[in-house]
Structure 1
């Protein structure tokens, strides 16, 4: 029975919030307070920003926006950052509203594009806004799921473009993971979108317990867990809590010492899985952050004989897998390692990473959701919004590779990963288990788990395509103003407020201190300047002398010969020594000696203070073996005899000339002659003046930072426009710019190398290519080699002589554009990369997957099937953009060739790489069966170049 408060709230909803009441009545569960607050704000006509933990149910607010759109006869766009998430949300909404009311637009899929509810990737909506698609005319609501993606340095700008460009009448629903600056983000939304309610919740409907696994034992990391775990008899007293904590920490410490003492080895992943299974902690997502590691973990589980599902489930797994992969040939299945993959799935374990083809990843996701896969070994890609909750999340390491270096997980990353644990409506609690290693401090992990500071930072930057579209749509000045409304500029301006206060404070301090500094004998400033000049000169001279001494040491040591007698002036082996070996190296000379104390070894250069000058010589046989104790004793005795009468003290080292700088003498004379030098308070005067000078320099530095931040995006936009004008994509018209025909061409190309593609197309560089050749050339604008590898056209096979020649011409165009961008201080375009040209060419020719990958390996390029599919999809996407260009903008032959190339590439593993869910494969709308009017309508949904 409801409480009076609940009854009152329900009555209020029915009267004022009738749509919310109806929406609630259709749900099988009641709404949490933050969900109710977000929904009420929407029905009040406000925009809303909802920040809540992963798994808290914030998408309910987005679904209510869909409900309101249907009730008001308006359209709703539901955007997501990745295609897999779009597919998932599409299936959810089809179940609720029916297939006729829901459409899917993800760049390579178009299902029911005129439906009132459209699920799409964020790039698709951005492109539709730029081309003014009529689909948006009746748009009433836009849901931006995972809006915190605007911090992504590669794609984040798209979210801000959409937020800024949307018509003011559209209600925006922004759904975000927990961030610590939600109020700041909400304040910006108010400035660009109008009234926006900010709803923040830290509540997790399924409690998450943090653990550390040491050996085969699992320990709680946080004290409160033991007290609040469901089923506990009663809350412990304060004294008992201390005893529990101390006992636990002692037990963990003993266990860690035992494993360290026994020459620690990482636990076997199969053993960890077995431990989780015995502890009723499955299903689990096991994050490894390495594709090779994920695959190796599955192999280890297979070798150990693990079986996590029964025979009935095993039959269901085989049925699902067979259905999902039936379109693949036996040859492709063999290359993809299908039978090993299936073996793992039939035991309840699988890997999930970008190296797998989409069908394999989607199948793993489906089986996990159905409870037929118990453990998934995954890279961090599985944490990106896909609905795959687990009872437990395991973190094998707290370090991951970001593409450039290995870095420790941030609090935000840790929360995103562990937030997958705990299935609402299934689990009473979720578990996060960190695997202990000798370099891991449990206290550090506990601190990471309890940190709640995840600020959202904009990554917004203008691009060439963005600039030409802004000029075309609203003009240069308005476009510049629009950029200055971005969250990036908003954050910069807010930061500027603090910088200005610091600058003013520093300048004020400098003035106040300077006004107080007086000396009856003369100018303190002049005197302080002389002392500063002397100090700088002496520091420079000291550094120069030090460098000179180092050079003299290394050159003199390199000149030593076997048998030279020297004196080592310092260090553990100081005293007379005979040289056994002296070799120059790129690091520092290698000097091996024998001392009078019978020690033989390498002497570090730091033991010498200046040039090393021999004080005598003695014979050392070539056959001398310094590892022989007897040989060392005999040679040391000879050394003692030879050096007995040598003047060692007076000839240990040769000291180079150290002339006194005339400028130093002159400055010291000027200082002594200055009247302030006679003042008894001269040191205090100088100290006060230096404090003032420091404050003034700080004020100047802050002024430069202020100037650099204000209108920084506007300046970047201006520099981009300058490049576009230089290259003929824009033309000056008074104070404004107009878009040329070439500019209109650029406006329809969405890619990191959009300007390079446009320039090659307008020059006709690609007009004479065949379909396979065009695919190979286009790939160079998209592909990025792993591990910093670079490929040169003259050494790496690229498909044909025509491809080689056009790639070189394309590279020349890139160099010209880069020169123009550099002169204008505008963003540079990434250099073309030829590493995938051979693969794109051979696949389009018709080679099998096995042949293509084998040819790549022969050329020194290692590529997984999943990566191959991913790069091919991007090539197909770019070819599709070219194929849809107006024939008055480019030669019709190149558009026909692009269409042919894209069609040829859509086969085998590429024919099934669209990412659609199996239930929705029927009823696909493709380019081949669209009518002309329909095709023109969804043309704007292409060209996002995304990966799933």
Structure 2
């Protein structure tokens, strides 16, 4: 440890002062001593401990709260690398964080010593310090890049990101594949199982020290904003120190609010409030004070709307308490934009005249690259006005340029309130004095769920700026039904578990096979953190199975029968029950198959009558079933409504009774066009009425339950003939048999779990290799020529892209069509509109759409057969915007007819460029395709997209954004 300072040693005896002086002199000669002497502040104990372990040659895992100063450990690793003449790589999960860290390191070490590598940027890649996204390092490892030579240290920032289900596996790949000589510095938020993660690092990386600190340099105070009043979440001691008990005032408020919304004697919620109170004898009271059981008096309770707080009221309350600047987390992009608008409409203005001038100067300088028409399309003037008055939104759909402006102004203290989605909590460094959480429920894409303690910790971790604030503040806004105890539970549990999301992909598997062979690849996968966690869980399951087996033996003894084998009798009885249920389900199953067949037979233009559960009436088909195993048919009803029907919504098979010819391109999102479709439908049927439903069943389905019924009778006969059937204690024995059967089923499930968790990752890898063998990418465990191409294609649809490449689809496509095809292959929609297949902008893309669908259908069928995760179906929602863009249209015109935000379009455009880059990297096998892909990328990479792909350095003007080197490695 660092010796005590001289100020602390003045009272020591001379001998001890001399020893301490010698110790300081020795410490000053160490690299840690030299490093700490340059700092403007003394190092914290956890920083010193981690640095000492690094200097001794150990890898380190540092888990500490946001803002605790973990990056000091990373900076010391860089110091060690420079002093040893080695390289240091600094990896981050996202490009924005890489860009920010690059700028910070350039300010410290100068541009000549620092490089940057992301998927679209390569700057000084041979530097001694290189900042990069983790995907880039993973790709370097697979490619045996020469850049790995003389690499001494790898800093993995935000390593808890490996729990991310989409990209977390990359962290584990890197940790597993890094050369043994490289020291890993893993920086994580405080996680509850840091020791477990450290134990895995110790297994795969060698000696690893785990340093955990739960101390926040800036204390965090918890509050709830109720109406205009800010309440402490926890009660205080006499010395104003928070306890672990919930503030009793909040508890009383919550109870009062709960009673106010309870139905009372009048059957209406809230009528116990003002002017609707009743006495015990039933008479109504006006706004008079009532006595409670203790004889005290209180005025009638305020209506619950008085407890809620609007966004402008929230800003006023925080400003009054001196708690600005703040970040308010709203789990909705539209909510963030609406919040800014509400504050502006309320006349709020948080900036001084000089601050306004600084803001406008920064905004106008940064936005000088925007064309005038782009400014109008992006509502630049509204964005600018909000910034001028101290307000901004920040979310993934925001234009990257706008996000950069917000981040820069907020860091300078010029923006006072930012309304943000939770993506900000995982992004760049933007601390505030206060963090506000508007609601404790969020939509996860499927349903609304309560936020977890880990998410609460991550969000509130932004509160409190080190070196600026003496304390940070977390504020939860009051909502109807809010439970202060639940909020306290979230705030008290300040850690969350780190669980692996690792699973082999096609690209990963073929790279491992090519580099290491099948057996060694399996061993590598078995060393993943995912398998490490699975193996640890097996220990507890095995102990549970042993306990259950002992209980089963006792049950068997209790159900013994003197007339025969009661175990056999109980089995027959159980089989009979199952057979009877199966017979009753048989007819429903056949009926469901008939409904599925009828939906698959429907074509666009068919006119049908939908009675079933939804009673949509006469409707016309506008989109065919798509997936035969889960058909979902799009229809327009007689009222001009766009609906989707599936097997779950029909009681019987459905057949068309008429038809109408519809245009090839149906603009079903337009209400006016849907009315036209309904009109065409009625014109086709005239006065013809749909047939009476019932009895419609496609040919080929016949109900045959003779086998099921025969099996039931056979089991009944066996049961009655069994000796135990006549036992007078039969039902008592059966009680124990029922317990035995239930416990046997639970035990078998646990045994299956043990078997399933043993070598899980390796067995998935085997299934992938077998499927790749079937498709010709692997032969006798050797990677074939198509497999070599797959090694360089990354993404969620990597194998599908490779299949299309091998099919020859891209051989003659023009650059414009290649851009459209890449858009089809990268885009994922959050909306449930995948059944709609719009006409494509070119004939080549129209043909490509059919070919892509055919290959995807074959691939997903093979994946289901192999028990693998199914590749998502390609979605055409990005094709038209990208094709319009590459044709030179402006941003607003490119997005016509879509609900896509400008920031989302640019994010997807980057992914299109990434895929085109990957295909262009195959120039050795497909030189002409590589040339056309590079041209397609150039067409996409223009205007605001090109600017958003650049990084801004402190000494660079915005006019230099086109001067960017390309990097073949993907991000």
Q: Report the TM-score, using the length of structure 2 for normalisation.
A: 0.78
SS of residue matched to 1:54: coil
Match of 1:870 in 2: 907
Instruction: Quote how far apart the aligned CAs of 1:193 are.
Output: 0.6
Which residue number corresponds to residue 250 of structure 1?
A: 252
Q: Does 1:364 align with 2:406?
A: yes
> Aligned pair count?
806
Paired residue secondary structure (1:219): strand
Does 910-919 or 485-494 show the bigger shift?
A: 910-919
Shift of 1:519: 4.2
Q: Name the CA distance, whole Å, in 2 between partners of 1:11 and 1:291.
A: 60
Residues 771 and 844, structure 1, Cα contact 8 Å, conserved in 2: no
Q: Are 2:299 and 1:299 aligned?
A: no
Q: Which position in structure 2 is the counterpart of 1:604?
A: none
Contact 1:37 1:199 in 2 (8 A): yes
Q: Report what 1:555 is aligned to.
A: none
Between 1:446-455 and 1:711-720, the stretch displaced more is 446-455
Which structure 2 residues correspond to residues 196-215 of structure 1 after superposition, within 5 A? 196-215=208-227
Query: Aligned partners of 2:557, 2:328: CA distance in 1, in Å?
Result: 66
Check the 8 A contact 2:64/2:213 in 1, yes or no.
yes
1:15 aligns with 2:42: no
Q: 2:64 matched to 1:52?
A: yes
> Quick check: 2:330–2:419 contact (8 Å CA) kept in 1?
yes
The answer for the alignment partner of 2:755 in structure 1 is: 707
Q: Secondary structure at the match of 2:947?
A: coil
1:695 to 1:920, Cα distance in 2 relative to 1, 3 A: farther
Q: Which residue of 1 aligns with 2:856?
A: 814
In the TM superposition, residue 695 of structure 1 has moved relative to its aligned partner by 3.4
2:373 to 325, 331, 334: 331
Preserved CA contact (<8 Å) 2:235 2:248: no
Structure 2 residue 323 is the aligned partner of structure 1 residue 281: yes
SS in 2 for 1:49: strand
* 1:438-449 to 2 correspondences below 5 Å: 438-449=480-491
SS of equivalent residue, structure 2 residue 541: helix
2:397–2:902 Cα contact (<8 Å) kept: yes
Corresponding position of 1:400: 442
SS at structure 2 position matched to 1:135: helix
Q: 1:114 aligns with which of 116, 126, 147?
A: 126
| Compared CA separation, residues 303 and 166, structure 1 to 2 (3 A) | same
Per-residue CA deviations over 1:665-697 (Å, capped at 9, x if unaligned) read: 998998788665676655554444443444333
Q: Is the 8 A contact 1:264 1:438 kept in 2?
A: no
Describe how 1:263-282 pairs up with structure 2 within 5 A. Answer: 263=305, 266-282=308-324
Distance 1:717 1:673 in 2: 51
Distance 1:670 1:337, change over 3 A: closer
Alpha-carbon distance in 2 for matches of 1:325, 1:681: 88
Residues 835-850 of structure 1 aligned to structure 2 (within 5 Å): 835-850=877-892
* 1:789-813 deviation per Cα after TM superposition (whole angstroms, max 9, x unaligned): 21644xx243211111122222222
Contact 1:348 / 1:372 at 8 angstroms: preserved in 2?
yes
Determine helix, strand or coil for the equivalent of 2:863.
helix
CA deviation string 1:283-309 (max 9, x = no partner): 000111111111111111111121111
Change over 3 Å in CA distance of 1:387–1:188 after alignment to 2: same
CA distance in 1, matches of 2:376, 2:21: 59
- Establish whether residue 789 from structure 1 lines up as the match of residue 833 from structure 2: yes
Counterpart-to-counterpart distance in 2, 1:697 and 1:453: 36
Gaps of 5+ in 1: 548-582, 590-660
After TM superposition, the structure 1 = structure 2 runs for residues 406-805 of structure 1, keeping only pairs within 5 Å, are 406-515=448-557, 518-529=560-571, 532=574, 586=613, 683-732=731-780, 737-790=781-834, 792-793=836-837, 796-805=838-847
What secondary structure, in the 3-state scheme, does the structure 2 residue paired with 1:376 have? strand
User: Rg: which structure is higher?
Assistant: 1
* 1:43 has 2:91 as partner: no
Quote the Cα distance in structure 2 between the aligned partners of 1:765 and 1:49: 48
Instruction: State the Cα RMSD in Å.
Output: 3.2
CA distance in 2 between partners of 1:814 and 1:588 (Å): 34
Cα distance in 1 between the residues matched to 2:779 and 2:479: 62
Structure 1 248/770 Cα, relative in aligned 2: closer, same or farther at 3 Å? closer
Is the contact made by 2:841 and 2:880 (CA closer than 8 Å) also made in structure 1?
yes
CA distance, structure 1, for counterparts of residue 955 and residue 857 of structure 2:
46
Residue aligning to 1:315 = 357
CA contact (8 A) 1:110 1:924 kept: no
| Partner SS, residue 181 of structure 2 | coil
SS at match of 1:273: helix
Candidates 952, 963, 966, aligned match of 1:917 = 952
1:161 corresponds to 2:170: no
- Asked if structure 2 preserves the Cα contact closer than 8 Å seen for 1:109 and 1:925, the reply is no
SS of alignment partner, residue 68 of structure 1? helix
Q: Give me the whole-angstrom Cα distance separating, in 2, the residues matched to 1:449 and 1:57.
A: 21
Q: Assess if the C-alpha contact under 8 Å between 2:950 and 2:962 holds in 1.
A: no
Q: Which residue in 2 is equivalent to 1:355?
A: 397
Paired position in structure 2 for 1:195: 207
CA contact 1:14–1:21 (8 Å) conserved in 2? no
Q: Deviations over 1:608-651 (max 9, x none)?
A: xxxxxxxxxxxxxxxxxxxxxxxxxxxxxxxxxxxxxxxxxxxx
- Secondary structure of 2:46's counterpart equals helix
The structural deviation recorded for 1:537 is 7.6
Matched position secondary structure for 1:210: strand
CA distance in 1, matches of 2:441, 2:552: 45
Residues 110 and 925, structure 1, Cα contact 8 Å, conserved in 2? no
Deviation at 1:255, TM superposition (A): 7.5
Residues in 2 aligned to 1:760 and 1:671: alpha-carbon distance in whole angstroms: 59
Q: 1:260 to 1:157 in 2, by over 3 A?
A: farther
Match of 1:3 among 4, 8, 11: 8
In the other structure, the counterpart of 1:606 is: none
**Deviating more after overlay: 6-15 vs 346-355:** 6-15
Closer/same/farther in 2, CA of residues 307 and 453 from structure 1, 3 Å limit? closer
Question: In the superposition, relative to structure 1, how do residues 522 and 874 fare at CA in structure 2: closer, same or farther (>3 Å)?
Answer: closer
Q: Structure 1 residues 791 and 673 mapped into 2: Cα distance closer, same or farther (>3 Å)?
A: closer
Of 796-805 and 694-703, the range deviating more from structure 2: 694-703
Q: Structure 1 residues 872, 901: closer, same or farther in 2, change over 3 A?
A: same
Structure 2 residue aligned with 1:178: 190
Q: Is the 8 A contact 1:771 1:901 kept in 2?
A: yes
Structure 2: state its 5+ residue gaps: 1-5, 261-272, 274-300, 589-609, 617-708
TM (norm. structure 1) is: 0.80
Q: For residues 42-121 of structure 1, what are the structure 2 equivalents within 5 Å?
A: 42-121=54-133
Shift of 1:872: 0.7
Q: Does the 8 Å CA contact 2:121/2:964 hold for their aligned counterparts?
A: no
Cα–Cα, structure 1 residues 824 and 10, in superposed 2: closer, same or farther, change >3 Å? Answer: farther
Per-residue CA distance 1:813-857 (angstroms, 9 max, x = gap)? 222333333333333322111111111111011111121122xx1
C-alpha change, 1:186 and 1:925, in structure 2 (3 Å) is: farther
| Partner SS state of residue 184, structure 1 | helix
Q: Deviations over 1:740-786 (max 9, x none)?
A: 22211111111211222222223321122222211011111101122
How far off its partner does 1:452 sit? 3.9
Secondary structure of 1:223 counterpart: strand
Work out the CA distance in 2 between the residues paired with 1:905 and 1:662.
Answer: 67
Change in CA separation of 1:664 and 1:149 when aligned onto 2, cut-off 3 Å: closer
Query: Where does residue 885 of structure 1 map in the other structure?
Result: 922
Give the deviation of 1:192 after TM superposition.
0.6
User: 1:65-87 CA deviation, whole Å, 9 max, x = no partner?
Assistant: 11111111111110000111111
How much does 1:431 deviate?
A: 0.7
Q: In structure 2, do the counterparts of structure 1 residues 214 and 819 end up closer, same or farther at CA, with 3 Å as the change threshold? A: same
Matched residues in 2 for 1:764 and 1:13: separation?
A: 70
Matched-pair contact (CA < 8 Å) for 2:920–2:929: yes
Distance 1:689 1:759, change over 3 A: closer
